Amino acid sequence: MNGKAIVITGALGALGKVVTEEALARGARVAGIDHATSQFAATPDRIELGGVDLTDAARAKTAIDQAAAHFGRLDALINIAGGFTFEAVADGEPATWQRMYAMNVMTALNTSHAAIPHLTKSGAGRIINIGALGALQAAAGMGPYAASKAGVHRLTESLAAELKGKVTVNAVLPSIIDTAANRAAMPKADVSKWVTPKELADVILFLASDAASAVTGALLPVNGRV
CB-count burial class (<10 Å; 0-12, 13-18, 19+) for 45: middle
Average pLDDT over residues 93-118: 98
Q: What is the total count of domains within the chain? A: 1
Q: Which residues are catalytic?
A: 145
pTM higher than the cut 0.85: yes
User: Which residue range is the domain that position 127 belongs to?
Assistant: 5-222
Alpha carbons 142 and 178: distance in angstroms, whole number: 19
Confidence of residue 226 (pLDDT cuts 50, 70, 90): confident
Say if residue 44's pLDDT is above 90.
yes
Question: Please, are residues 79 and 111 in contact by the beta-carbon 8 Å criterion?
Answer: yes
Higher-pLDDT residue of 40 and 214 is: 214
Question: Please, are residues 80 and 13 in contact by the beta-carbon 8 Å criterion?
Answer: yes
CB-count burial class (<10 Å; 0-12, 13-18, 19+) for 225: exposed
Alpha carbons 58 and 38: distance in angstroms, whole number: 20
Q: Tell me which amino acid residue 186 is.
A: M
Give tens-digit pLDDT for 20-34.
Answer: 999 999 999 999 999
Q: What is the pLDDT of residue 39?
A: 86
Question: Please, are residues 50 and 12 in contact by the beta-carbon 8 Å criterion?
Answer: yes
DSSP letter at 164? Answer: T
DSSP 73-87: ---EEEE--------
User: Which segments within the chain are labelled E, that is strand?
Assistant: 5-9, 29-33, 46-49, 76-79, 125-130, 167-174, 219-222
DSSP letter at 105? Answer: I
What CATH code is carried by the domain that includes residue 83?
Answer: 3.40.50.720
Average pLDDT over residues 209-215: 97
Average pLDDT over residues 35-51: 95
